[in-house]
Amino acid sequence: MFIRLACCRLLRHRKLIYISIFISFLLSFVYVVVLPHVLMLFQKPPSKVQEVCQYVIPKDSPTVPTNSRCTFFDCFNIYRCGHKFNGDFKVYVYPMARHVDEDFIPIGGKMSKEYHSILSAIVESQYYTTNPEEACVFVSSIDTLNQNRFRVKETSQALALLPHWNDGQNHLIFNMVPGTAPDYKTVVDLSIGKSMVAGAGFDSWTYRSSFDISIAIYSNLANSLSNNYTFQHRTTFISTVQTNLHSDFITSLKSIEKQKSTTQNMTMSMIRVIEPCSHSGHDRTIICHENITYNYADILADSVFCLILPGPRLMDMVFIDALAAGCIPIVAINHVVLPFFEVIDWKRAVIMWSETELNTLLDVVSGIPLDRRKEMSAQGRWLYQTYLSSLKIITMTTLKILSQRLHPHSSDFYENWNLRPHPVSARNPLFLPYMSDSTGFTAIILSYNRIDSLFTLINMISKAPSLQKIIVIWNNQLKSPPHFSAWPKIDVSLKVVQTTANKLSNRFFPYREIETEAVLSLDDDILMLTLDEIEFGFQVWKEFPDHIVGFPSRTHIWNNKTNTWKYESEWKNEISMVLTGAAFYHKYWNQAYTYIMPNIIKQWVDEHMNCEDIAMNFLVSNTTNKAPIKVTPKKKFKCPQCTNTEMLSVDQGHMAIRTSCVNMFAAIYGRMPLKTVEYRVDPVLYKDVFPTKLKRYNNVGEL
């Protein structure tokens, strides 16, 4: 009746209807389209309404007791994990749910921020899957981080009711605070069958080797502690910073403190024992020493070492805080399992001590030299930042360790986990300590069109006893190499590689045809080498197989005026490069040049047709931190009259380009890797007055 009436009325006011329709459309448009966008601008994550399921846990729901003998091989179902070889595997996260007991009382507190971060980290990672069928590892959405925040029995029951539980197989339970008063177990008290525990504060009895993962407790305070770091001006040598220590520890430490303060009169107070403040309540940021209140952060920043003793639980946030603040932790907690100890060598950053031998601690620790203290402090901070500083990082490290267990062949090595990236460190890929036993080398000659000199060179070099093969890189696409009948007849096999593009990097390609360890790289106009020089060069390379060993040497000089490097081909007292126009090197460097060297350098060299030899010297020096080796006084390579290949190839432009190469490569590597040395090597009896009959390598020494 009313509607009809209204309609009749309204029909009379058409204009009004149109207006109202228009406005309401406008409003709804604003609400549906514009508003969410505007809202998204204000808050990053989109607001979606959470629909949470609620599960009621029956009182007598069954649980499976934790299997304390589990290993990766008998409790973990590897067949769920597919076979990806790059270390990939999938993690499924159960949907959020509310778990209550039969009386509708929740089994635990609200999900904590931290657990939420862990789950989000997984969801955002490459490991996440929404499909439980393809999942390898399962993570529940029941917050188990702190045992004080949930009811143990009901939570175990709730876990056992998870749809893919299957006795807990392949489930990962995160926990950072295990045990409750009064007995403080060192592992979370849940009954979880075959689940793995990613827990903090294990002792070596509760930790199941190769099955559980020892993680770090997260400390929100640590992040702020790691700012404003300096290792200088620390006035206390050792501090204790825990307020929850047993009185026995405190008394014994206090007596050491007293003894040291009376016997030693030093600028640095040797040991400082912190007590809980009577007035501070539960504030972690305030601590006391002899009735003076200190800021917790200041104490950490002011101490060289932080003594960490067993509190109620084995892994205290203090450990994390100390690392972050650069206070070297002395962990005197027997049997403790440190975070990620499978991959992190804590010895590099932490002093492991025994809690029963505190009286000798000071004597030993004070003997540690300053350099080592600095190094440990920096390493500790680096470990904190790389593996422990946020929940996301902790979670990802945990998953990475899991991935290494699943695919051990893709594991990172010790160095990758434990060495801080250092601008001037070098990891020599040829690290086998040996003098090469190889019997011969492969000569690689780069040629374009100088056939005469190429043939002369081949004829000459083919007589070298240690030569095993000659490979000619024919870099000319316009002209094909001479017919095979035209090539010199030689005893060793000769292989011609016709390249598809005239690129200088062709000479450094790791051809399958190179079967020897050593490569002798030659330009096609190197005509002045003697056989003795080649044989001696090869001998030197065998003694120094990770160096470039060769004849034409150059150096680089710092120009003070322009503040740049200068490429120098004059005869100097120093060398820092040996050109690959005539040099021995290990075949590995071909691989490194082609596939590992920064691509910009390779491209630049190919585009400008220059500096490939400089690039090779940079590459080797940067990888090994070693200088090349110049063999014999040889300085002329093309003809007896030529003094220097580059000195007389005049061409100022050529030199300018090479100078700019040196500067550019140094910029790309972020440092000048070349090493300057003042030595060359000669045969032992070089220039000695000695019967030539008894001398080896007589034909060495001409310029």
Partner 1 sequence: MQAKKRFILIWLIVLLFILIMCLLKRTRKPETLLNLTYNANYVENLPSFMDDWHQSLEVGRPPAAKTYEARQQVPYHSSHKKTNKNCRMETCFDSSRCENNFRVFVYPLSELETSGLMTSTRSVLYQKMLDIIVESRYYTDEYTKACVFVIAIDTLDRDPLSPDYLRNIPMKMQRLRHWNGGRNHVIFNLYSGSWPDYNEDDLGFHTGDAILAKASMSVTNMRPGFDISFPLFHKKHPERGGEPGFVRSNTYPITKNYKLAFKGKRYVLGSGSETRNSIFHLHNGKDTIVVTTCKHGKNWKDAQDERCDVDNTLYEKYDYGSLLKNSTFCLVPRGRRLGSYRFLEALQAGCIPVLLSNNWALPFDEVIDWNKAVIWADERLLFQVPEVIHSISEIKLFALRQQTQILWEQYFNTIEKIVFTTFEIIKERLPKLQSRDGIVWNTSPGALVSQHLYTEYLNFNLPFNYHLFGKQPTPNFTVVIFSQHNSLNTPLYRLVRNLAASKYLTQIIINSCADNNGKSGYQKIAGIQILVSSGNDCRRFEPLPFIKTEAILSLDDDVVITTDEIDFAFHVWQSFPDRIVGFPARSHYWDNSKDSWLYTSKWTNEYSIILTGAAFYHQYYNTLYTQWLSPLLIKTVEQSHNCEDILMNFLVSHVTRRPPIKVSQRKHYKEQANNGMPKSPWNDPDHFMQRQTCLNTFVVLFGYMPLLQSSVRFDPILFKDPVSNFRKKYKQIELVSN
Residue 111 as a binder of partner 1 (CB under 8 A): the answer is yes
Residue 421 as a binder of partner 1 (CB under 8 A): the answer is no
CB-nearer residue toward partner 1: 76 or 384: 76
DSSP string, 203-221: BTTTS-TTTSEE-PPP-TT
Q: Count Cβ atoms below 10 Å from residue 667 Cβ, excluding itself.
A: 11
CB-nearer residue toward partner 1: 55 or 686: 686
What Cα–Cα distance (Å) separates residue 190 from each residue in 64, 76, 151? Answer: 10, 18, 9
What is the closest distance, in whole angstroms, from the C-beta atom of residue 334 to partner 1 in the complex? 4
Q: Could you give the dihedral angle defined by the CA atoms of residues 388, 389, 390 and 395, in that order, rounded to the nearest 10 degrees?
A: -20
Residues 482-511 that bind partner 1 (CB under 8 A): 510
- Interface with partner 1 (CB under 8 A), residue total 172
Q: Count Cβ atoms below 10 Å from residue 35 Cβ, excluding itself.
A: 11
Residues 46-85 that bind partner 1 (CB under 8 A): 46-48, 50-51, 69, 71-73, 78-79, 83, 85
CB-nearer residue toward partner 1: 78 or 667: 78
Do residues 523 and 551 make contact, with C-beta atoms less than 8 angstroms apart?
no
Look up residue 418 and give its two tokens. Answer: 């434990």
Residues 263-282 that bind partner 1 (CB under 8 A): 282
Instruction: Identify the residue among 571, 654, 655, 657 touching partner 1 (CB under 8 A).
Output: 571
Which contiguous run of DSSP H or E holds residue 507? none
Residue entry with tokens 């990613």: 198
Residue 392 as a binder of partner 1 (CB under 8 A): the answer is no
CB-nearer residue toward partner 1: 112 or 456: 112
Residue 210 as a binder of partner 1 (CB under 8 A): the answer is yes
Backbone angles phi, psi at 500, to 5 degrees: -95, -15
CB-nearer residue toward partner 1: 86 or 652: 86
What is the closest distance, in whole angstroms, from the C-beta atom of residue 396 to partner 1 in the complex? 17
Residue entry with tokens 């509310």: 98
What is the closest distance, in whole angstroms, from the C-beta atom of residue 93 to partner 1 in the complex? 7
Closest CA to 457 of 529, 357, 508: 529
Residue entry with tokens 């931190």: 625
What Cα–Cα distance (Å) separates residue 86 from each residue in 83, 125, 164, 393, 411? Answer: 9, 15, 26, 20, 10
d(CA 428, CA 25): 70
Closest CA to 339 of 212, 456, 432: 212
Look up residue 520 and give its two tokens. Answer: 């002798």
Instruction: Identify the residue among 424, 478, 486, 501 touching partner 1 (CB under 8 A).
Output: 424
Residue 163 as a binder of partner 1 (CB under 8 A): the answer is no
CB-nearer residue toward partner 1: 92 or 604: 92
Residue 18 as a binder of partner 1 (CB under 8 A): the answer is no
Look up residue 458 and give its two tokens. Answer: 């081949």
CB-nearer residue toward partner 1: 85 or 484: 85
Stretch that binds partner 1, among 295-303, 484-492, 598-606, 624-632 (CB under 8 A): 624-632
Residues 279-338 that bind partner 1 (CB under 8 A): 282, 310-313, 317, 334-335
d(CA 322, CA 563): 43
What is the closest distance, in whole angstroms, from the C-beta atom of residue 372 to partner 1 in the complex? 4
Residue 451 as a binder of partner 1 (CB under 8 A): the answer is no
Q: What's CA 544's distance to the chain center, in Å?
A: 29
Stretch that binds partner 1, among 44-52, 254-262, 479-487, 491-499 (CB under 8 A): 44-52
Stretch that binds partner 1, among 116-124, 152-160, 193-201, 606-614 (CB under 8 A): 116-124
Residue 646 as a binder of partner 1 (CB under 8 A): the answer is no
What is the closest distance, in whole angstroms, from the C-beta atom of residue 72 to partner 1 in the complex? 8
d(CA 194, CA 72): 10
Residue entry with tokens 């790791």: 510
Q: Per-residue contact track with partner 1, 190 to 209, x per CB under 8 A?
A: --------------xx-x-x
d(CA 72, CA 573): 62
